[in-house]
C-alpha cells in the first residue's frame, strides 16, 4: 500500500517546512541555524532530497555548525545520488570556488544531464536554492 510512503512524505514535508522557518526566520520563528540543521537532517533521513542541499550549504557556509567543506561535499554528493540535480550545481560552484575546473565542469555537466525533462529556470531549483545562486549561472542553464 502507499499509506506508509504517504505518511513518511508528510512527515518530512512538515520537518522541512519547520527547518526552513528556522533557517529563514519566517513568521514567528527566529533565525536559528542550528535548529534548522537538526530538522533538515531529520527531513533528509525521511526522504527529502532537497534537505541534502540545504545541509551541504550550511556546512559550506558554517551556518549552525563549523565550516566543513568536506562534510558539505558529502551531503551534496548524497543529494545528487538520491536524485537532486541542484546538488550537482552546488558541487560545481564549490569546485569552481576552489579553482578545481575539471571537477566543476564535470559536476555542471551532470547537473544539466540530470535535469528532469521539460525543466526550466523556474523549476530547476527551489526558491531558497535559487537565492543562493549567481543568477548569471542560471542564465547559462536556460540558454
Rg of the chain taking only CA atoms, in angstroms = 15
Predicted pLDDT of residue 43: 96
User: What's residue 6's pLDDT?
Assistant: 56
pLDDT in tens, 55-87: 999 999 999 999 999 999 999 999 999 999 999
User: What are 85-140's pLDDT values in tens digits?
Assistant: 999 999 999 999 999 999 999 999 999 999 988 765 545 566 555 555 554 444 34
User: Model pTM?
Assistant: 0.79
The CA distance from 55 to 39, in Å, is: 10
pLDDT at 140: 43
Q: How far apart are CA 76 and CA 82, in angstroms?
A: 10
Amino acid at each position: 500500500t502507499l499509506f506508509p510512503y504517504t505518511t513518511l512524505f508528510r512527515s518530512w514535508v512538515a520537518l522541512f517546512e519547520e527547518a526552513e522557518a528556522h533557517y529563514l526566520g519566517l513568521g514567528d520563528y527566529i533565525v536559528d541555524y542550528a535548529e534548522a540543521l537538526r530538522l533538515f537532517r531529520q527531513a533528509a533521513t525521511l526522504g527529502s532530497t532537497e534537505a541534502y542541499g540545504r545541509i551541504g550549504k550550511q556546512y559550506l557556509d558554517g551556518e549552525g555548525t563549523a565550516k566543513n567543506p568536506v562534510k558539505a561535499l558529502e551531503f551534496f554528493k548524497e543529494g545528487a545520488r538520491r536524485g537532486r540535480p541542484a546538488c550537482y550545481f552546488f558541487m560545481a560552484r564549490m569546485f569552481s570556488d576552489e579553482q578545481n575546473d575539471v571537477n566543476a565542469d564535470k559536476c555542471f555537466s551532470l547537473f544539466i544531464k540530470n535535469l528532469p525533462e521539460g525543466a526550466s529556470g523556474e523549476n530547476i531549483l527551489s526558491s531558497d536554492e535559487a537565492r543562493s545562486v549567481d543568477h548569471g549561472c542560471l542564465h547559462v542553464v536556460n540558454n
